[in-house]
Every structure is written in structure tokens, then in C-alpha cells.
Amino acid sequence: MKRLFLLYLFIYSIVIILARCEISEKKAKADSLLESSDEEVLKVNPKRSVEFAMEALELSEAAKYCEGRAKACFRIADALFNLGDYKEALEYLSLAEKEKKVLSGNPFLASEIIIIRGRIFGCMGLNENSLQEFHKGLKYIKKIKEKDDQYYLLALFYDNLIEIFKITGKHDSVLAYINKGIKLLEQMDESSVFRSRINIYSCLGEYYTTQNNFDSAALCFNHSLLIAEKYQYPYISKTYILLGNMELERGDVDSALNFFFKALKNPGTINYEVKSPCVYNNISRCYELKGIEDSAVIYNELALKTENIINNNKVKAAEFALNIILKDKIGEKSKNNRYLLCVAAFFLILLLLITNFYFVQKKRSRKIIISKETEAKKLEKKLNNSFIDLIQLGKIDDPAFISMFREVYPEFTKKLLGKHPDLTISELKLCAMIFLNFTSKEIAQSMFIQHRSVQTKKSRLRKKLKIMPGEDLQLYFKSLV
């Protein structure tokens, strides 16, 4: 009996050891997949990053690996945010925050989660809530003991504040936090933060562009590109976009267009779909300025299409975002709170829909204006050509002069004959020549009469039209138009 008990105990121990080995193996595999997910982030490939993180999440669930679960949910949320799926991103951030024990011992991960949520709120136009999230994340950043990690996240914190202050038009705050970011990054090893340096100098270049200091802006952008070249970092679509904006501001449309196409082809734009509308809009604007209307319309439509996708994602995320905001403020207490949530969500969605409608209408109006301006230019050109032809016909006393004058100036002819129906063809011709600013000498040459005869004809015409001797005939005719 004793031997049988020992045998059972031995078998049980073996099973436990094997189970623990399997769990350890799953944890190790999950950690490896999360590392691969992080590598894909550095390659600016969010879709592949999600795939690795999803596998890691599945293994972490099976192994009941809380830290792996929290990290995987964060990585998925980060990638989905960059792909423009704000609702799903917020949901995965909430799942990550359920691992409270993990986050209480890992302020680095806790701050990353909060910062991403702040960025999502910023993209949805919830600027005040975005700032609140960033400052909440700052509290966790201050708890990080490792200096390099703390500085890294602090630089990220400054970067996000810069973006919000740009949106809200606080240019002094933008410059202040850019300088703080540069000062902080100079204390760190460049090879570990070169991406942050590329971004901060691009932001400084953008600031100088808003101040019309294009030489300083160009120096900053070139510095960003040199850092990218030094570390063979190809994902510099943001810098190209800002360079294009700078060239556009100083009037070099061709150079701007070149940079926007570089941005469009850059992996940073190709993989991060949320960047596309900005580039399409800029290219459309360049083609408008160059007068290439077909291309302007094509890229405008592409911008509208991608903007609609992003706006739809914002609408989908609105209720979830509002739920998070209200939960932080008042908690989940009663039906009244849920009622407020629904009402507020309704108005937020309505606001987003109205905003979306406004921008779509604005784009359509711009297209109509462009079309009308084009027609006006064609008509103006036609009028100019007709005017030149009309003058030539008048000078050679061509019989077609009067009929063409009626076509070019129908309103004047109608009003003149309406007021003075008894005018003869000869008198009407004289009126037309005076209206077209022919001199007495030119009228005499056209009619093959002497200069004195022209004055006589004008005097008779003035009498017939009942115009005072001192009144200018041409001014009288112009007043009829």
C-alpha cells in the first residue's frame, strides 16, 4: 500500500513538473513573440506587430501569464491606434489595465498605456481629455527608477504635448516643450533615441515654418534627414510632409509636390494608413495652385475617401471614449449616469457627423469654385478676343461691326435702344465707337470723314440723346451698363 502511494505521488509530481515546464515554455514563447512585435513597431509595420502580439496574447491566456497579457494588449492597442482603429485600440487598453498587479509594479508599461490613450483622445479632438491623460501618465513616469527609461518616456510625453499645443494654436508652449525635449535628448545616447531626435527637429522645423523663418526651418529638417541617414532609418514620412508644407508656404509648389510624393511612397505612410489623407490633401492643393484641375480632383477624392474612413472610426470610438472619460470622473453608479453617457455620446457622435459633413461640403464648394473660376477665365479670354476683333472691325468700317457689337455688349445695346429707340444705324455705330473709347481721329478714319464732321455728329447725337453740352458721352454710355 505504501509503495502504491509513493508511486501515485511520483506520477503526480512528474505531471506537475511537466505542466510547469509547459507553462514556462508558453511564457517564454509569448515573451519572444512580444519582442518580435516590438521589432515590427520599429520597422513601422503595425499590421505585422498586431499578428505577433495576438499570438502572444493567446499563449499568455493559456499560461495565465498576467504580464504577457498586459503587454500583448498594449502592443495590439498601439498598433491598432496607428492603423486608425480607435475603438478597438481603446478596448485593448482597457483589457491591459485590468492587470492591476502587473501595472502597479511596472510604471513604464502603465505610463505607455495612458499615453497611447491620450494620443487617441487627441486624434478624436478631445484635447482637454488628452492633456489630462498625458499628465496622468507623467505621474507614472516619475516613479520609474531606471534613468534611461524615464528620460525616454519623458521625451515621449513632451512630444505628445507639442502635438496638442500645435492643434490648439499655443505656439509659445510648442517652442517651450520642443526646447525641453531637445535638452533632454542631448543627455541620452543618440543611438537609442535617434527616432525621437528626428521627430523633435522636424517639429522645430514646423514651428519655424509657422513663423516664416524658412532658412531655420530648412536647417532643422535637414538635421532630421541627416540623423535618419546616419542610422539608415527610412521611415521619415512626417519630415517629408513638413518639408512639403514649408516649400508650399514659400511658394515653391513643384518642390512641395516632390516632398509630398516622397511622403506618400515612404513606408511610414504606406503602413500607417491614418497619414494618407494629409498627404492627399496637400498634393491636391499643389495641383490646384498649378492649375492642373483633373489631378487636383483625383487626390481630393482620395483624401475625402480616407478621411471618411477615419471619421467613421472616430464615430465608432466616440461612445467608448466617452465611457472611459465619464468613468474616470464619476464612476459607474446609477441609471442616471448611463443616461448621461447615452446623451453625451449622441451629441458627440452628432458633432463628429456634422464636422465630417462640414468638411465634405467645404471640399465640394472648393471644387465648384475652381470650376467656376475656370469658366470665368475661359469667358474672360473669349471676351478679350472678341473685344480685339470688334475694335478691328470698327477701324475698317466692316458692316459686321454693329452685329458683333450687339453680341458682345447685349445689355448695353438693349438699354440704349430701349431709352432711345429712334437711333439710326449710323448713330448706333457712333454710340458703339464712343463706348469702345475710339478717339475722334479713329472715328473719322473709320467713317472716311473729316475730324470736324465727327465733332458735328457728336453734337447732333448729344442733342438727340438730350445730353447737356458739358456731359461726357462715354461716361453716359458706361452708366447704362
Please give the average per-residue pLDDT across 151-172, as a whole number.
87
Summary mean pLDDT of the chain: 81
Q: What CATH number has the domain spanning 396-479?
A: 3.40.50.2300
164-169-173-174 Cα dihedral, nearest 10 degrees: 70
Share of the chain above pLDDT 70, in %: 80
Q: What is the pTM for the complete model shown?
A: 0.59
Please give the average per-residue pLDDT across 405-419, as a whole number.
86
Please give the average per-residue pLDDT across 382-397, as a whole number.
70
> Cell digits for 459?
453734337
pLDDT band at 88 (very low <50, low <70, confident <90, very high): confident
pLDDT at 176 over 90: yes
Q: Which long-range contacts (CB under 8 A, 24 or more apart) does 94-100 make?
A: 94/324, 95/69, 96/69, 96/70, 96/71, 99/66, 99/67, 99/69, 99/70
Q: What CATH number has the domain spanning 150-254?
A: 1.25.40.10
DSSP 145-203: -SHHHHHHHHHHHHHHHHHHHHHTT-HHHHHHHHHHHHHHHTTS-HHHHHHHHHHHHHH
pLDDT tens, position by position, 253-270: 999 999 988 888 876 554
Q: Find which of 17-26, 325-334, 386-395 is predicted with most confidence, using mean pLDDT.
A: 386-395
Give the per-residue pLDDT at 271: 46
Give the per-residue pLDDT at 230: 92
Q: Which residue has the cell 498601439?
A: 78
Query: Which range, of 13-17, 220-224, 409-413, averages the lowest pLDDT?
Result: 13-17
CATH architecture group of domain 16-144: Alpha Horseshoe (1.25)
pLDDT tens, position by position, 316-363: 666 666 676 666 666 545 555 556 666 676 677 777 777 767 766 776
Give the per-residue pLDDT at 438: 86
Please give the average per-residue pLDDT across 436-463, as a whole number.
82
> Cell digits for 43?
520597422
Q: Hey, where are the domains in the chain?
A: 16-144, 150-254, 272-380, 396-479
Measured between alpha carbons, how far is 27 from 67 in angstroms, rounded to an integer? 9
Query: Which range, of 80-94, 200-214, 306-320, 433-447, averages the lowest pLDDT?
Result: 306-320
pLDDT tens, position by position, 42-62: 777 788 888 888 888 888 888
Give the per-residue pLDDT at 317: 65
Query: Identical fold at 150-254 and 396-479?
Result: no
